[in-house]
Structures are given as structure tokens and as C-alpha cells.
Amino acid sequence: MKKIVVLTGAGISAESGLKTFRDSNGLWENYKIEDVATPQAWKADPEMVLEFYNQRRLQASKALPNQAHFSLAGLEKYFSVTIVTQNVDNLHERAGSSKVIHLHGELTKARSSKNPSLIYKINDKKIEIGDHCDDGHQLRPHIVWFGEDVPLVSEVIPYFQRADIAIVVGTSLSVYPASGLIDYIPLNADCYYIDPSAKENMSNINFKLISKKAEIGVKELVGKLKQFLIKE
């Protein structure tokens, strides 16, 4: 069975109604990135940071997977699929994808503010000041903030190295280290980039560009991949 690796970004979630910093010039409902999504913000005003992510968690819980999520999940009938997402919602899982790796963390989890390995499933519950974990420290969102290391990058590199097919969806490829993952894809792999700004964002000549929104572009590509499989 051929191996597919999919790298997804904010664009695929935006089509389910989830707002992004990318779409609003660094502002999200009047929050600045540096005020809510950095270690410095957490140190300066943890209550505001928690409120921001409590709002995001609630919004994400109400959002529904869109056709792009369902189309990617449907690929598992024909291929070995690994989804590597920069998104912190669980829309891929709710659409039926069974192997999803979240590079930047997950809204539905909390972790110790001192020990990153102490992680707890909270689903759509709020995190409040005074909510402590087993080590006695304040809980924080299980999110990789700007300026923090992305520990799962080394774990996902082999999926790109072994890919027969690589699909990039809804990301501007401007955030490192996620943007560097495409450099590990074999030269003989079939590569596709789906984004309305595909021509502006992608300089890698190995990628076939699909300048469409995720819902339309993914559905079309999945249909073609199934046809290729039948012909083989």
C-alpha cells in the first residue's frame, strides 16, 4: 500500500469557520499574537492567555469538519495515510482520520506549566487559574507557542522521507520548522500543493499546484488519486 503524508495548515480549518491569525494581520478578535501566544505572554498575564484559549477551545468544539477533512479521511481506504497538522483543533480526527500528528499541540489537552510530559485530556473544558496538575503546578494549554521548540518535528520527518505521495493543504509554508518538512520528501514522490495562493507560496518545482480552496481542491485530488489507483 502506497504511503501518503499530508501537511495541513490554518486554511483547511478556516473553511470550517475557525478564524486564524494569518487571516487577520496578526490580530484575532483584538488579541495580538505576542499577548496570548508566547511564553512571555504566559508569564505576564496567564489569566488572559487562558481566557483566549478557552474561547478558542469553545469555538473549535462547535466547528464541524468540512469536505476537505472528510476527503482526506476517505483516502485511508486506499492508502497508508499520515496527517501532520499545524492546526490545534481536532477536525481531522472528527472526520475519521486515524493517524493525526499535531505539531503545534491540541486545544483539547492541557499540560503542566513546568513539566511538558504531564499532559491531560480536557476535551472542551476550561482551564482556570488555580487548576493544578499532579506535580502541583498550574495547568496551561497544550499548545506550542511562538518562540518554543516544536518537539514532534523529529518524529514526523520519517513520514516525509518515506512518502510516495505528499499533499500540502491550506498552509502558507511561512512558519518554521513545519515549512522545512517538504525538503525531506523524496524527489520521486508525487507532490501536490492545494491553496488559493499556491503560486505565490510554493517555489518547489516538484509540486503540482492546485490554486483552490481546500474543500474543492482536496476533493478533486482525492478523486484523481483513486482513479490512478484503479488504473494501476
pLDDT digits (tens, 9 = 90+) for 185-211: 999 999 999 999 888 888 777 899 999
Q: CA 179, CA 51: separation in Å to the nearest integer?
A: 29
- Reported as a pLDDT band with limits 50, 70 and 90, residue 28 is low
Q: 123: which 3 cell numbers?
A: 476535551
- Reported as a pLDDT band with limits 50, 70 and 90, residue 176 is confident
Q: CA 77, CA 160: separation in Å to the nearest integer?
A: 20
> Who wins on pLDDT, 229 or 76?
76
Give catalytic status of residue 69 as yes or no: no
What does the pLDDT average to over 31-36? 84
* Active-site position among 69, 92, 102, 104: 104
Bridge-partner residues for 27, per DSSP? 32
Residue 160 DSSP symbol: H
Q: 43: which 3 cell numbers?
A: 508569564
Percent of the chain scored above 90 by pLDDT? 82
Which domains can be identified in the chain, with CATH numbers? 1-18+65-104+151-232 (3.40.50.1220), 19-62+108-143 (3.30.1600.10)
User: Is the backbone of residue 71 left (phi > 0), alpha (psi -120 to 50) or beta?
Assistant: alpha
Q: CA 112, CA 117: separation in Å to the nearest integer?
A: 8
pLDDT at 66 over 90: yes
pLDDT computed for residue 26 by the predictor: 46
Q: CA 202, CA 204: separation in Å to the nearest integer?
A: 6
Q: What is the pLDDT of residues 109-165, one digit of tens each?
A: 999 999 999 999 999 999 999 999 999 999 999 999 999 999 999 999 999 999 999
> Who wins on pLDDT, 205 or 16?
16
Q: What is the pLDDT of residues 94-108, one digit of tens each?
A: 999 999 999 999 999
